[in-house]
Amino acid sequence: MKNPIADLNKIFDSRIRLGVMSMLVVNNEISFNDLKQMLELTDGNLASHLNTLEQAEFIKVHKGFIGRKTSTTYSITVLGKQAFKAHLDALEKMIKKL
């Protein structure tokens, strides 16, 4: 038998990054503010997790406007989608023995 946790992606150990990704899988663009409110996080905390995901190239940023207000939105990348799916598959395989 092989190590059941070896295929889990370390980046997704964090519930917050998991939450961000799961939200971005279904919504192709979400604002910083919406993420912050949905996940109930402080600015700094969210920003640093987003940064981790960005470094990994799992998400990308778009700086734009809503009306005349600045609005930063985030979306998932192809790589991000793949990695997230792979992680979920690994999770599923791990617990599929139920």
Partner DNA sequence: GAAAGTGCTTTGTTTTTCAAAGTTAATTAA
Partner DNA sequence: TTAATTAACTTTGAAAAACAAAGCACTTTC
Query: Which residue in 4, 29, 38, 51 binds DNA (CB under 7 A)?
Result: 51
Q: Which is nearer to DNA, 69 or 96 (CB)?
A: 69
Give the 3-state secondary structure of residue 96. coil
Q: Which is nearer to its own copies, 1 or 70 (CB)?
A: 1
Return the number of the residue (13 or 57) whose C-beta is nearest its own copies.
Answer: 13
CB of 22 to its own copies, least distance (A): 5
Q: Which two tokens stand for residue 38?
A: 């949905």
Q: In what order do the strands lie in the sheet with 59-66?
A: 30-31, 69-76, 59-66
- Burial letters 55-92, b for 16+ CB under 10 A, else e: ebebbeeeeeeeeeeeeebbebbeebeebbeebbebbe
18 is a site residue for DNA (CB under 7 A): no
Residues that bind DNA (CB under 7 A): 10, 13-14, 16, 31-33, 41-45, 47-52, 61, 63, 67-73
